Amino acid sequence: MTKRLNVLQHQLHTLISHTLQIQKQLLNPLRLIPSSFLPPRFIVVTFIIED
């Protein structure tokens, strides 16, 4: 159970890292897309995890 949870957390962290990387690379042309594309909750979770 714990191992499974760790794997899940790692996958989530990897996903968020990739998402943030992509957003940084595409920030200028796609600045308005993430706010409409992603639910606010996901963005909040992203900031909390990155913090």
Position 36 scores a pLDDT of 54
At residue 51 the predicted structure's pLDDT band, cuts being 50, 70 and 90, is very low
Give the pLDDT confidence of 3-44 residue by residue, as tens digits: 787 778 888 888 888 787 776 666 555 555 555 555 555 555
Is the whole-model pTM more than 0.85? Answer: no
- Please report, for residues 7, 8, 12, 13, 34, the alpha-carbon distance to residue 40 in angstroms, rounded to integers and kept in the order given: 25, 21, 17, 17, 9
Q: How far is CA 21 from CA 24, 27, 31, 34, 48, in A?
A: 5, 10, 13, 13, 16
Please tell me the distance from the alpha carbon of residue 23 to that of residue 5, in angstroms, as a whole number: 27
Task: Specify the higher pLDDT residue, 1 or 36.
Answer: 1
